[in-house]
């Protein structure tokens, strides 16, 4: 069973205009994430993951509790989320943000 089939609020189900699966096996799923200026993704879920930033930009992340944070991402940077999480995202900058996201399956 894929992550998409298991979780209805999975990022690819909620925002296929931003998230696309480039590889998946029984241990990991790799997503290409492309967030154009002004693009929004409604509240969605990710398992534990890491991101490699391919193209810089500025995103706003909103958590289910209503708090938000603005994050500047730089090309070549890596980020990680050691726990599964939910958030909405908006590109508040003027550049397209691109990442490769590796999601870990337990």
Q: What does the H/E/C string look like for 19-38?
A: EEEEEECCCEEEEEEEECCC
Sorted by where each begins, the domain ranges of the chain are 3-104
CATH tag, 3-104:
2.60.120.10
CB count in 10 Å sphere of residue 18: 21
Residue 7 has a pLDDT of 76
Q: Which of 50, 33, 34, 54 is CA-nearest to residue 104?
A: 50
Q: Enter the pTM of the model.
A: 0.90
Find the radius of gyration of the CA atoms of the chain.
13
**C-alpha to C-alpha distance for 101 and 19, rounded to whole angstroms:** 9
| Predicted pLDDT of residue 8 | 81
Q: pLDDT per residue over 3-59, tens digit each?
A: 666 678 999 999 999 999 999 999 999 999 999 999 999 999 999 999 999 999 999
* pLDDT at 74 > cutoff 90: yes
């Amino acid at each position: 069973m894929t992550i998409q089939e298991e979780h209805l609020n999975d990022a690819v189900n909620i925002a296929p205009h931003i998230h696309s699966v480039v590889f998946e096996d029984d241990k990991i799923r790799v997503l290409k994430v492309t967030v154009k200026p002004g693009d929004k993704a409604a509240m969605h879920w990710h398992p534990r993951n890491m991101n490699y930033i391919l193209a810089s930009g500025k995103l706003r992340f909103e958590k289910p509790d209503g708090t938000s944070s603005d994050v500047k991402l730089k090309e070549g940077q890596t980020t990680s989320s050691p726990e599964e999480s939910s958030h909405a995202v908006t590109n508040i900058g003027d550049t397209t943000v691109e990442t490769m996201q590796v999601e870990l399956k337990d």
